Protein backbone atom coordinates (compact mmCIF):
# COMPACT_ATOMS: atom_id res chain seq x y z
CA UNK A 1 0.00 0.00 0.00
CA UNK A 2 1.34 3.41 -0.94
CA UNK A 3 -1.37 5.76 0.27
CA UNK A 4 0.13 7.22 3.42
CA UNK A 5 -1.95 10.40 3.51
CA UNK A 6 -5.72 10.06 3.12
CA UNK A 7 -7.47 12.98 1.42
CA UNK A 8 -11.18 13.70 1.41
CA UNK A 9 -13.13 15.18 -1.47
CA UNK A 10 -13.29 18.49 0.42
CA UNK A 11 -9.46 18.44 0.92
CA UNK A 12 -9.04 17.98 -2.83
CA UNK A 13 -11.61 20.61 -3.82
CA UNK A 14 -9.89 23.16 -1.60
CA UNK A 15 -6.42 22.17 -2.87
CA UNK A 16 -7.41 22.49 -6.52
CA UNK A 17 -8.64 26.05 -5.99
CA UNK A 18 -4.90 26.81 -6.32
CA UNK A 19 -4.94 25.66 -9.97
CA UNK A 20 -6.68 26.67 -13.19
CA UNK A 21 -7.93 23.17 -13.97
CA UNK A 22 -11.67 23.54 -13.43
CA UNK A 23 -13.83 21.51 -11.09
CA UNK A 24 -12.91 18.21 -9.50
CA UNK A 25 -14.94 15.47 -11.18
CA UNK A 26 -13.45 12.31 -9.70
CA UNK A 27 -10.46 10.98 -7.76
CA UNK A 28 -8.98 7.66 -6.78
CA UNK A 29 -6.10 6.52 -4.60
CA UNK A 30 -3.21 4.88 -6.45
CA UNK A 31 -2.02 1.99 -4.34
CA UNK A 32 1.13 1.20 -6.37
CA UNK A 33 4.40 2.69 -5.28
CA UNK A 34 6.43 2.78 -2.11
CA UNK A 35 7.57 6.33 -1.33
CA UNK A 36 4.84 8.87 -1.93
CA UNK A 37 1.07 9.15 -1.80
CA UNK A 38 -0.49 9.40 -5.26
CA UNK A 39 -4.03 10.13 -6.44
CA UNK A 40 -5.56 9.86 -9.89
CA UNK A 41 -7.46 13.10 -10.43
CA UNK A 42 -10.14 13.85 -13.03
CA UNK A 43 -10.73 17.57 -13.50
CA UNK A 44 -12.88 19.42 -16.03
CA UNK A 45 -9.71 20.13 -18.01
CA UNK A 46 -8.37 16.56 -18.04
CA UNK A 47 -6.66 13.81 -16.08
CA UNK A 48 -3.82 14.39 -13.62
CA UNK A 49 -1.76 12.75 -10.91
CA UNK A 50 -1.45 14.41 -7.51
CA UNK A 51 1.69 13.38 -5.62
CA UNK A 52 2.16 14.11 -1.93
CA UNK A 53 5.81 13.90 -0.98
CA UNK A 54 6.14 11.90 2.20
CA UNK A 55 8.91 12.11 4.81
CA UNK A 56 11.40 10.05 2.81
CA UNK A 57 11.71 12.80 0.17
CA UNK A 58 13.67 15.87 1.17
CA UNK A 59 12.03 19.19 0.35
CA UNK A 60 15.30 20.63 -0.99
CA UNK A 61 15.35 17.91 -3.69
CA UNK A 62 11.91 18.71 -5.12
CA UNK A 63 12.98 21.54 -7.48
CA UNK A 64 15.50 19.20 -9.12
CA UNK A 65 12.97 16.42 -9.69
CA UNK A 66 10.26 18.79 -10.94
CA UNK A 67 12.81 20.57 -13.17
CA UNK A 68 14.00 17.27 -14.63
CA UNK A 69 10.43 16.21 -15.36
CA UNK A 70 9.66 19.58 -17.00
CA UNK A 71 12.85 19.42 -19.04
CA UNK A 72 12.09 15.90 -20.26
CA UNK A 73 8.55 16.94 -21.21
CA UNK A 74 9.81 20.05 -23.02
CA UNK A 75 12.30 17.90 -24.98
CA UNK A 76 9.41 15.67 -26.17
CA UNK A 77 10.45 12.73 -24.02
CA UNK A 78 7.33 10.78 -22.98
CA UNK A 79 7.16 12.27 -19.50
CA UNK A 80 4.40 13.92 -17.50
CA UNK A 81 4.19 17.69 -17.51
CA UNK A 82 4.34 19.37 -14.08
CA UNK A 83 1.38 21.74 -13.68
CA UNK A 84 2.00 25.24 -12.39
CA UNK A 85 -0.37 26.67 -9.78
CA UNK A 86 -1.98 30.11 -9.72
CA UNK A 87 1.00 31.48 -7.76
CA UNK A 88 3.46 30.40 -10.44
CA UNK A 89 4.83 27.46 -8.46
CA UNK A 90 5.01 23.74 -9.19
CA UNK A 91 4.94 22.78 -5.51
CA UNK A 92 1.88 23.36 -3.33
CA UNK A 93 1.01 22.16 0.18
CA UNK A 94 -1.82 19.94 1.37
CA UNK A 95 -2.15 18.58 4.91
CA UNK A 96 1.28 20.06 5.76
CA UNK A 97 2.97 18.09 2.98
CA UNK A 98 4.54 19.28 -0.23
CA UNK A 99 2.59 18.21 -3.30
CA UNK A 100 2.76 18.46 -7.07
CA UNK A 101 0.23 17.97 -9.86
CA UNK A 102 1.41 16.41 -13.09
CA UNK A 103 -0.32 15.52 -16.33
CA UNK A 104 -1.59 11.97 -16.69
CA UNK A 105 0.11 9.63 -19.13
CA UNK A 106 -1.67 6.62 -20.55
CA UNK A 107 0.38 3.50 -20.03
CA UNK A 108 1.56 0.99 -17.49
CA UNK A 109 4.09 1.17 -14.71
CA UNK A 110 7.56 0.20 -15.87
CA UNK A 111 8.68 -2.59 -13.59
CA UNK A 112 12.17 -2.82 -15.09
CA UNK A 113 14.00 -0.11 -16.98
CA UNK A 114 16.03 -1.38 -19.88
CA UNK A 115 19.45 0.14 -20.47
CA UNK A 116 18.29 2.17 -23.51
CA UNK A 117 15.65 3.94 -21.40
CA UNK A 118 18.30 5.06 -18.94
CA UNK A 119 20.76 6.07 -21.67
CA UNK A 120 18.08 8.15 -23.38
CA UNK A 121 17.27 9.94 -20.12
CA UNK A 122 20.93 10.75 -19.52
CA UNK A 123 21.39 11.99 -23.09
CA UNK A 124 18.40 14.32 -22.87
CA UNK A 125 19.55 15.71 -19.54
CA UNK A 126 23.12 16.24 -20.79
CA UNK A 127 21.84 17.98 -23.90
CA UNK A 128 19.83 20.33 -21.67
CA UNK A 129 22.78 21.22 -19.45
CA UNK A 130 25.33 21.81 -22.22
Concatenated DSSP letters of 26-65: EEEEE---SSSEEEEEEETTEEEEEEE--TTS-GGGHHHH
Rounded to whole angstroms, what are the CA distances from 25 to 15, 58, 108, 123?
A: 14, 31, 23, 38
The confidence score (pLDDT) of residue 34 equals 77
In a domain, 2, yes or no: no
In a domain, 29, yes or no: yes
Q: What is the CATH number of the domain that holds 47?
A: 3.30.200.20
The confidence score (pLDDT) of residue 33 equals 73
In a domain, 56, yes or no: yes
User: 88: pLDDT confidence band, cut at 50, 70 and 90?
Assistant: very high
Structural domain harbouring 50: 9-129
In a domain, 94, yes or no: yes
For the stretch 27-71, pLDDT in tens is 999 988 778 999 999 999 999 999 999 877 788 999 999 999 999
In a domain, 1, yes or no: no
For the stretch 96-124, pLDDT in tens is 999 999 999 887 766 666 666 667 767 66
Q: Is 119 exposed, middle or buried (0-12, 13-18, 19+ CB in 10 A)?
A: exposed
Number of domains in the chain: 1
In a domain, 93, yes or no: yes
The confidence score (pLDDT) of residue 130 equals 47
In a domain, 3, yes or no: no
In a domain, 100, yes or no: yes
Cα–chain center distance at 129: 22
Amino acid sequence: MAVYTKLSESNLKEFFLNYNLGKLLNYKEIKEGIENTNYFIQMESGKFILTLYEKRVEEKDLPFFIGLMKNLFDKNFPSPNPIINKNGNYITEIKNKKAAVISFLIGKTKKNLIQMNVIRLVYIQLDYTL
